Amino acid sequence: MTPSPTLSCQQLVELVSDYLEGALDPHTATLVEEHLADCPGCETYLEQMRQTISLLGTVSEDQLSKPTRAGLMAAFRDLRPPRP
């Protein structure tokens, strides 16, 4: 019997958006749900993300000013780990 793979909290954080959008494959979604069942901190984080999405709604790209869009793109680019 091999142990089932688990996700770290950092990995879960990286997958939350796809999880909430239903964009994960079934295996990865199950790993996320197993992690959430055992990690109150990540469960709280997921709920905060749900509340944020609910409160903010959806903003389309054409609603953003050029400086705002550029700032967001730079912020998200900085969050990604460098590729090997």
Identify which of 37, 48, 35 has the alpha carbon closest to the alpha carbon of residue 8: 35
* Residue 58 structural domain: 9-79
1 in a structural domain: no
18 in a structural domain: yes
Q: How many domains are contained in the chain?
A: 1
Residues 47-62: tens digit of each pLDDT: 999 998 887 777 777 8
Give the model's pLDDT for residue 31: 96
Distance CA 61, CA 28 (A): 29
Q: pTM for this structure?
A: 0.64
Distance CA 4, CA 35 (A): 11
CA angle 82, 15, 84 (to 5 degrees): 20
3 in a structural domain: no
Residues 1-18: tens digit of each pLDDT: 334 468 999 999 999 999
Distance CA 60, CA 46 (A): 23
CB 41 within 8 A of CB 12: no
